[in-house]
Amino acid sequence: MLVRLRKNLSEPELAAVLSLAGQLGYEVRTLEPRRDLLELTGRGAPDHRSRFEDLVGVESILDAGEARERFQRAPGAPDTLVKVGEGRFGAGHVTVIAGPCAVESAERLAEIARGVRARGATVLRGGAYKPRTSPYSFQGTRERGLEMLARVKLETGLAVVTEVLDPRDVEAVAEVADLIQIGSRNMANSALLAEVGRQRKPVLLKRGFSATLREFCLAAEYVLAEGNPNVILCERGIRGFDPSTRNVLDVGAVAALKCMTHLPVIVDPSHAAGRGDIVRPLARAGLAAGADGVMVDVHTAPSEAHCDGHQAISLEEFGRIAADAQAMVALDGKRLSSSVELPR
């Protein structure tokens, strides 16, 4: 590990750094002529970097070396492949997730589920618990929504992703969900992250709308550190200044994340756009940037949707996105997980 010390640090500050290094079993060497650079040799562990960063005498960690965090890509190590029902994410596999923003009624959910399945989705999305900006907005169908998801899953064979908002609901949600979603508003909720880390279902972690990529990856680290290795990261747009779109789909983040981490990365162009008419080009942009999957809001009657109706797309438009995905992953030598034969 390469540690840069703060300029003009005091004797006690330096002593604290050296003492921690000793405690963790590192040999310390000053890199002459730069007396502010320490090279630490020893057996690194994922928590060491943060422990040094917390000391006042440390300016930054230039290279974590063997003390890399669990999310980090290690030289030569393979990408993580996350399996969700018939869907495969990462390590050359791409999956399309589609469904309504919220689970509304059993009939509507079943109709959308059948429609997206026939057009290439392998995983159905749908929030039973909805994280809404206003407490007066529709909060979801909650336990009833989970039951509806369980039924439609049985009927269609689709795997299901749904959001959990409260650590007390994790067990109930994990009984139905094949993939547990932590939404943007909860990206930094460490108690919730640790709770989903302690159960075995894979986790879909959405990026907070003003989170840096390191903050995003460290949120994933909370799940990994509890022993759950199956985390999928989702870029869903960050705050911009222009109201033309709800958020700004950060495609640069997709490419950069693929360099930083071995975890699969997907995009949600629906929550980025906030409008249905540009979901398709954004989905294509995400895939072009290297995304391992796409998640989109689909509704058969957007005008009746309880939330996010303006960003929902039709089944037909969804079919076009799935066909795009098929063509684009082939270009990249990847595979699309799909239980139906898609037009080429």
Chain residues in the site for ligand PEP (CB under 6 A): 101, 127, 131, 183-185, 206, 236, 271
Which is nearer to ligand PEP, 67 or 218 (by Cβ)? 218
Which is nearer to Mn ion, 1 or 101 (by Cβ)? 101
Which is nearer to ligand PEP, 236 or 280 (by Cβ)? 236
Is 163 one of the binding residues for Mn ion (CB under 5 A)?
A: no
Give the residue, chosen from 305, 308, 318, 319, that forms a contact with Mn ion under the rule CB under 5 A: 308
Ramachandran category for residue 333: left, alpha or beta (phi over 0 → left; psi -120 to 50 → alpha): left
Shortest distance (Å) from residue 191 CB to Mn ion: 23
Shortest distance (Å) from residue 312 CB to Mn ion: 9
Is 112 one of the binding residues for Mn ion (CB under 5 A)?
A: no
- By DSSP bridging, strand 93-99 and strand 123-125 are parallel
- Element at 106 (helix H, strand E): helix 106-118
Alpha carbon 284 to its chain centroid, in Å, reads: 18
The residue count of the chain comes to: 344
Shortest distance (Å) from residue 84 CB to ligand PEP: 15
- Element at 39 (helix H, strand E): strand 37-41
Choose the one of Mn ion, ligand PEP, none that binds residue 187, judging by a C-beta under 5 to 8 angstroms depending on kind: none
Shortest distance (Å) from residue 57 CB to ligand PEP: 38
Shortest distance (Å) from residue 308 CB to Mn ion: 4
DSSP letter assigned to residue 78: P
Which is nearer to ligand PEP, 127 or 269 (by Cβ)? 127
Measured CA distances, 273 to 125, 129, 140, 246, 305 (Å): 17, 22, 22, 5, 17
- By DSSP bridging, strand 2-5 and strand 37-41 are antiparallel
Which is nearer to ligand PEP, 64 or 101 (by Cβ)? 101
DSSP letter assigned to residue 35: T
Choose the one of ligand PEP, Mn ion, none that binds residue 131, judging by a C-beta under 5 to 8 angstroms depending on kind: ligand PEP
Which is nearer to ligand PEP, 101 or 152 (by Cβ)? 101
Shortest distance (Å) from residue 170 CB to Mn ion: 21
Which is nearer to Mn ion, 86 or 317 (by Cβ)? 317
Preceding peptide of 78 cis, ω within 30°: no
65-104 footprint of Mn ion as x/- string (CB under 5 A): ------------------------------------x---
User: In the Cβ-directed half-sphere of 109, how many Cα atoms lie within 13 Å?
Assistant: 28
Question: C-alpha angle 262/199/173, rounded to 5°?
Answer: 110
Choose the one of Mn ion, ligand PEP, none that binds residue 202, judging by a C-beta under 5 to 8 angstroms depending on kind: none
Shortest distance (Å) from residue 80 CB to Mn ion: 26
Tokens linked to 128: 């039973």
Q: Residue 333 CB: number of other CB atoms within 10 A?
A: 7
> Both ends of the chain: CA-CA distance in Å?
49
Shortest distance (Å) from residue 292 CB to Mn ion: 21
DSSP letter assigned to residue 313: B
Preceding peptide of 131 cis, ω within 30°: no
Which is nearer to Mn ion, 57 or 293 (by Cβ)? 293
Choose the one of ligand PEP, Mn ion, none that binds residue 88, judging by a C-beta under 5 to 8 angstroms depending on kind: none
Q: Are 170 and 199 in contact (CB under 8 A)?
A: yes
Is 305 one of the binding residues for Mn ion (CB under 5 A)?
A: no
| Binding footprint of Mn ion on the chain (CB under 5 A) | 101, 308
